[in-house]
Chain A
């Protein structure tokens, strides 16, 4: 669909530089994974792109043109981490989704559009009349996805969308993300602190550390042959998963 590119992007809050002259490209129809520890600036990038954080320097472009960050039509949409706070508890699921449809539609057209979107995220269209309180975390995150898709975005940003979910539904959401990306050909920036999750969904990976991108490349290459020190540290820290055990380190002098 479209190429999202960041040139020299800087995001500064009052006392800190959260994003420090970052260059990053999300190529057409691909998922780029962004990893790094908490506070490294991942979410700041996401929020800057969708207009929720100030851009103190640099440029955000979509297909080479400056990205509109105000107004009704937003070609980049975002899904948030916590599905318990990203849906208005007083609005029905259908209303939340309908609100995000940029053009005015008749009542019937709106209904069928909401149904189409719910169907797209594998939810029963009858859920449209429910309130978020009646849904589980996984279901809410599906609604949040449907709302993001309602804007017919060209690029989707997913910010830690599985980390507030229970392990049992994480997998389902990840499957959905991959299916949707394939079906709709979306370009996507997928943010996570979990390397294994990023490895599973993303074709390219960017590693962030203290506001900078320290390494970027095709997922398989970066994971197999990390060039940056921090990337190596990060990889070494990941638990190896069911089946493999690391050797127990022997006690060192400090410990008696």
Chain B
């Protein structure tokens, strides 16, 4: 219900619900107020044009068309609403058949519904019009039954969606019966989309009705609805166009009223579905403050990537949120840098900003953002550089290839775009790269579509895609999270090989500390959009100094953790980027937090061994684990 009231407040909803209220009001009151004017004959004024007396003129018996249109609202709406009610009711019954009657009876019913749905509504209406006969009552039944398959299918789809969710399975497992599951769990969860569709459906039904009456198969005189009036008016369209056009306009307005209202609610429902954030092409960039912008030329020839004070912001209501709040790091040739942290800590955004893949409305600011010496802050001039020297591997190999093109073609096009290779050369290289990432029988595989590859193969092919050029940096965002351990092993080994062979630098993002520890030289630990610790990967287990890093390492069991001790836990919840607290962002969850922590944000300080940490109490002993466990309640 919240959605409906929110929907009313949008411009679309305001128009829709306004029109709807007007239409319903007219339907209820017009016959009472103007019923007389609509039926009284004005024999002196037959087929008259618009005049002060008759705004829209009169029909062939001298009746006032304006009032007739208003009065006809009731019948038109009533017919549409009752037919929709029939459709929805029959639809729910048919759609829930598989749930209630079990598979054996339910399957054929749904099969039939699916067959019938393929026939257009009007055809079904004609069919039922034959069966139920010509006339208003027949037409209601005809339109109602003709609409039922659509709703049956909708119900079935919605129900199947809900029934597939685990909470239904959970209810089953605890012994709740089918009928009760339908009423308690399934129907409440589909009610809203169903209602939206019924509202939009009513708009459609209104049109069907008008159509039927227009064809002379619906309402019969002396009763009249809008379709009937259009039919009567059409013959005289030369002399008296308003007789046909006025009811036509009424049909459109009423239809719109239903459609817009439904649409508005559907939109506000859609808003709730949290659209996962995605990367895009051209970010809006703002130059960093002039003071910091001028940094001396690099003498460090091994430097691949140099990031200073990177910030990523998004509009959030009227304000802005910054999920990445000042990240600084460098990556050198052949180096593997890991980034760990809880989800939402800004790992992916950092990676995407570095790879120049963030787009409007994301805003990227940095004091410095250079890749191989090129300043990435100044826009689009680096397409070829990035296209050949920077490779990206994403988390989900199942969705990261275009399903419509062959794998080989998807590799080859990069070479075509950036290396001016001929079609044949590019293809040859694609096959060669697939071989390099150990895809068996690469010549045949290159001609296959992504769906013919297994997950591990796709991820290797994705790495192969990055190797089409001569990459200096591979950015891999959770590349193995979606894979099994054995496949993860292959992919990680593959990355290592590429690195060892060509001196390619790697940024590896993962939430899995043990993966990072194994693959990387150095680890950046991120919390609430900042780097809180930067240390050699080998020291993760014993050398970490930030309380968050230490908790993160101790919270995840590995093959050597002590099975008799409880695991460390991190109480509380990650920071919401919309409400970053003052002071240290980790203070609310930190066992060492004191007043200073809550008031002052600790800076990221570089120690003598070039490791960095942002904590007022870095390296101080933590309270022993069992005390921590007491903190965990409600985490």
Cα A37 to Cα B498 in complex, Å, equals: 26
A172 smallest CB distance to B (angstroms): 4
Is A228 on the interface with B (CB-CB < 8 A)? no
For A254, give the chain B residue with the smallest CB separation.
Answer: B436
Interface size on B, residues (CB 8 A): 71
Partner among B176, B435, B560 whose Cβ is within 8 Å of the Cβ of A241: B560
Cα A151 to Cα B635 in complex, Å, equals: 24
Is A239 on the interface with B (CB-CB < 8 A)? yes
Taken residue by residue from 477 to 505, chain B's Cβ proximity to chain A (1 for < 8 Å, 0 otherwise) reads as: 00000001111110011001111110000
Cα A31 to Cα B515 in complex, Å, equals: 27
**B555 A171 Cβ-Cβ under 8 A:** yes
Which residues 563-617 in B have Cβ within 8 Å of A in the complex? 563, 566-570, 573-574
B428 smallest CB distance to A (angstroms): 14
Which residues 128-168 in A have Cβ within 8 Å of B in the complex? 136, 138-139, 144, 147-148, 150-151, 166-168
Instruction: Output the residue of B175, B498, B515, B555 with the most chain A CB within 10 A.
Output: B175
Is A1 on the interface with B (CB-CB < 8 A)? no
Is A184 on the interface with B (CB-CB < 8 A)? no
Is B558 on the interface with A (CB-CB < 8 A)? yes
Q: Using Cβ atoms and an 8 Å threshold, which residues of chain A touch B542?
A: 243
**A87 B537 Cβ-Cβ under 8 A:** no
Given A171-B567, A196-B561, A242-B517, CB of A150 within 8 Å of CB of B486: no
A57 smallest CB distance to B (angstroms): 20
Q: Using Cβ atoms and an 8 Å threshold, which residues of chain B touch A255?
A: 436, 497-498, 501
Task: Please tell me which stretch of A12-20, A21-29, A76-84 contacts chain B, meaning at least 4 of its Cβ atoms lie within 8 angstroms of it.
Answer: A76-84
Q: Using Cβ atoms and an 8 Å threshold, which residues of chain B touch A233?
A: 486
Task: Please tell me which stretch of A2-10, A58-66, A106-114, A244-252 contacts chain B, meaning at least 4 of its Cβ atoms lie within 8 angstroms of it.
Answer: A244-252
Cα A241 to Cα B470 in complex, Å, equals: 31
**A166 B169 Cβ-Cβ under 8 A:** no
**B635 A172 Cβ-Cβ under 8 A:** yes
Given A168-B555, A237-B485, A243-B540, CB of A151 within 8 Å of CB of B569: no
Task: Please tell me which stretch of B252-260, B348-356, B626-634 contacts chain A, meaning at least 4 of its Cβ atoms lie within 8 angstroms of it.
Answer: B626-634
**A245 B566 Cβ-Cβ under 8 A:** no
B359 smallest CB distance to A (angstroms): 27
Task: Please tell me which stretch of B126-134, B308-316, B506-514 contacts chain A, meaning at least 4 of its Cβ atoms lie within 8 angstroms of it.
Answer: B506-514
Is A124 on the interface with B (CB-CB < 8 A)? yes
Q: Using Cβ atoms and an 8 Å threshold, which residues of chain A touch B513?
A: 167, 241-242
Interface size class of A (residues with CB under 8 A): 35 or more
**B500 A167 Cβ-Cβ under 8 A:** no
Q: Using Cβ atoms and an 8 Å threshold, which residues of chain B touch A71?
A: 175
Given A86-B166, A251-B497, CB of A237 within 8 Å of CB of B488: yes
Cα A125 to Cα B315 in complex, Å, equals: 37
Q: Using Cβ atoms and an 8 Å threshold, which residues of chain B touch A196?
A: 514, 556-559, 561
Cα A100 to Cα B181 in complex, Å, equals: 12
Is B171 on the interface with A (CB-CB < 8 A)? yes
B481 smallest CB distance to A (angstroms): 10
Cα A113 to Cα B469 in complex, Å, equals: 64
B128 smallest CB distance to A (angstroms): 36
Which residues 174-201 in B have Cβ within 8 Å of A in the complex? 174-176, 184-185, 188-189
A interface list, Cβ under 8 A from B: 37-38, 47, 50-52, 71-74, 77-78, 80-82, 85-91, 96, 99-100, 102, 122-124, 127, 136, 138-139, 144, 147-148, 150-151, 166-172, 174-175, 178, 193-197, 199-200, 223, 233-234, 236-246, 248-252, 254-256
Task: Identify the 5 closest CB pairs spanning chains A and B, nearest first.
Answer: A241-B558, A243-B541, A171-B567, A100-B174, A86-B166
